[in-house]
Structure 1
């Protein structure tokens, strides 16, 4: 898709960091960057004499213009040739960004925005968008480290195929290596364990390892030929996927994961692994949903 890179802007340090990441992504893709500010008065704070659908009065228009101007300045400094669009939309950020994602190639948000719930590790907008967006969502966590490899979680599920292909494309776009990591266990938890998995059922370890090697190889099948410029490090790790990925993210520039993998409950839009990474990864996280999801 050649749609714009959309980034949510609310003036928080987290959202301004997201703008910088989004500007680089738009510049590399050769698409427009769309700065979106969702405006809505909380019911108890409608300004006297004003109407809630009009961002005017009480210095609000000046505040919004200043926020977007600062975001545009940062974006232009990093991607001077990129077309930058500014949009103020009346509505809840969750709904506005979900709608914007329908015509975007990538949506970028900070891990936390302006909120009275300051102690939350993950902002509600980031979590909601990762679960509902129509395009890949990049949540900016930690300090972005250009030049570090892209880390992708491989579990062999149909849902992870889109994540693996997105990871290859990102590695090629940024000119970095790709680390394809598949975690396994001697129990039947596979990569994405769940409460429904039968506990303490073990298999022949050597045979199981051979099977997991096959899963990893098949997940990468065809993509190494499609992206010959990407150096791939295939890594099979015995251990729990959440802990393993969070630990590995400390050395990555981006970690990519499918929205759901093996063992997830059908009604959940985000699996336990993607949620854990959104809360605890040491680097930005991209969540890629499939059309079926």
Structure 2
């Protein structure tokens, strides 16, 4: 995450209700982090060689795709101002495809915020392609506005022992302390691991013993976290089940879910792991995707 004092929280907007929810969430996050807010719209039409100015016969000051883009950015800025009146807020239209524009903003941003669905998304889709692409490629944490707002509930973090999950735990711990809530670290497991290359997983095993082992592993992964974040209230939970389902269920009683961009065991070269993909689609609260430094 960019820690420069002038690094802004950046929110992507497209005129959809999902984007306005993201604006409200982004304004709240920027206020919490004492950061300015940048409202950004990716204006793709010039790349497609589509006329963006009003037609010659159009009335002065009306019509045209660029004028419409200016209106939606202004509306988003007003929404942010209503949410956080004392916040420093700016709006900008940047030529380019939405995901590419937001990824381009990420190296100098403290946080990217966007909605889970945009204009043109099919109603049956749970998360839009822009959210997935930005979460996969951004150089800063990405917050996707979805699910319910539960300000009194804990922050949830998914753990699997990977460097990405440790990065997620650091982000989640800082967030939990700043919000004055507990952090719940969840590790989902299914079967005992093999003891070496080519070994078979045992068909019969002691479930209670396995559970204790998984709890010890989880505690080990989080060693030093409470020392690094004074005041952190940490709860560790090892749960038997598929990670996506376990974490989605846990998100029902969380205010924020934090996941690593790529976990242990993911296919090499896969920029967004299966667990983070699952949470973007099924979490019942806002989701932050934190990728380990490249």
Q: Same fold (TM over 0.5)?
A: yes
**Alpha-carbon offset, residue 221 of structure 1:** 1.5
Unmatched segments (≥5 aa) in structure 1 = 190-195
> Which region of structure 1 is more displaced relative to structure 2, 232-241 or 209-218?
209-218
Q: 1:44 to 1:96 in 2, by over 3 A?
A: closer
Is this contact kept in 1: 2:251–2:285, CA < 8 A? yes
**Alpha-carbon offset, residue 109 of structure 1:** 0.6
Quote the Cα distance in structure 1 between the aligned partners of 2:47 and 2:95: 14
1:81-113 CA-partner distances (Å, limit 9, x unpaired): 221121110011111100001100110010000
Quote the Cα distance in structure 2 between the aligned partners of 1:7 and 1:162: 22
Quote the Cα distance in structure 1 between the aligned partners of 2:113 and 2:158: 20
> Which region of structure 1 is more displaced relative to structure 2, 208-217 or 156-165?
208-217
Does the alignment pair 1:125 with 2:127? no
Quote the Cα distance in structure 1 between the aligned partners of 2:147 and 2:98: 22
**Alpha-carbon offset, residue 281 of structure 1:** 0.8
Equivalent in 265, 269, 273 of residue 275 of structure 2 = 273
Is this contact kept in 1: 2:9–2:38, CA < 8 A? yes
Q: 2:17 corresponds to which residue?
A: 13
**Alpha-carbon offset, residue 68 of structure 1:** 1.6
**Alpha-carbon offset, residue 62 of structure 1:** 3.2
**Alpha-carbon offset, residue 161 of structure 1:** 0.6
Quote the Cα distance in structure 1 between the aligned partners of 2:144 and 2:228: 26
SS in structure 2 opposite 1:105?
strand
Does the alignment pair 1:70 with 2:72? no
TM-score, normalisation: structure 1? 0.88
Q: 1:49 to 1:74 in 2, by over 3 A?
A: closer
Q: 2:167 corresponds to which residue?
A: 162
**Alpha-carbon offset, residue 57 of structure 1:** 7.3
Q: 1:4 corresponds to which residue?
A: 8
Q: 1:261 to 1:65 in 2, by over 3 A?
A: same
Q: 1:60 corresponds to which residue?
A: 65
**Alpha-carbon offset, residue 214 of structure 1:** 2.2
**Alpha-carbon offset, residue 116 of structure 1:** 5.2
Quote the Cα distance in structure 2 between the aligned partners of 1:57 and 1:45: 21
Q: 2:255 corresponds to which residue?
A: 253
Unmatched segments (≥5 aa) in structure 2 = 56-60
SS in structure 1 opposite 2:160?
coil
Quote the Cα distance in structure 2 between the aligned partners of 1:153 and 1:111: 20
Is this contact kept in 2: 1:246–1:281, CA < 8 A? yes
Does the alignment pair 1:27 with 2:31? yes
Equivalent in 155, 164, 171 of residue 150 of structure 1 = 155
1:225-249 CA-partner distances (Å, limit 9, x unpaired): 2222222121121222111101111
Quote the Cα distance in structure 2 between the aligned partners of 1:28 and 1:201: 50
Quote the Cα distance in structure 1 between the aligned partners of 2:91 and 2:200: 52
Equivalent in 208, 219, 226 of residue 217 of structure 1 = 219
**Alpha-carbon offset, residue 21 of structure 1:** 0.6
